[in-house]
Amino acid sequence: MRALIQRVTEASVTVDGQITGEIGPGLLVLICAMEGDTEATSTKMAAKIAKLRIFTDENDKMNLSVRDVSGSILAVSQFTLAGDASRGNRPSFATAARPEQAEPMYEHFKAALRSEGLKVEAGIFAADMKVRLLNDGPVTIWIDSADW
């Protein structure tokens, strides 16, 4: 799985003019299931994100997790994180999981985040979404399970 994580003061996702997910302080997580990912990959990614220490403590050091600050997560599926533009100018998405495999992986990821004790809002899988955010910092982190 690949995740692009942004620390936010607020974020929302809208589909067809309707807000499907909205959070205050927390993390916007753009998530992509890759070929070969399993539920174990999804569970490990959720645990990693829940424990990621990117919120500041009383000494202004990034030392707190989203759980530590009682933050929320807005999880948005985004297959374009699989984009490979190493050849030419049109990205290839061949390494992204097929939709019939990716959607259950996305649902499992959200459930795994909730099992970590987090409040999770979400977009709609495969929908044309409009995402709004106010990046805090800015802090943006890239995590790829292939690096583990």
Q: Which residues are catalytic?
A: 78-80
How many C-beta atoms lie closer than 10 Å to residue 38's C-beta?
14
CA distance 47 to 121: 17
End-to-end CA distance of the chain: 11
CA distance 77 to 124: 8
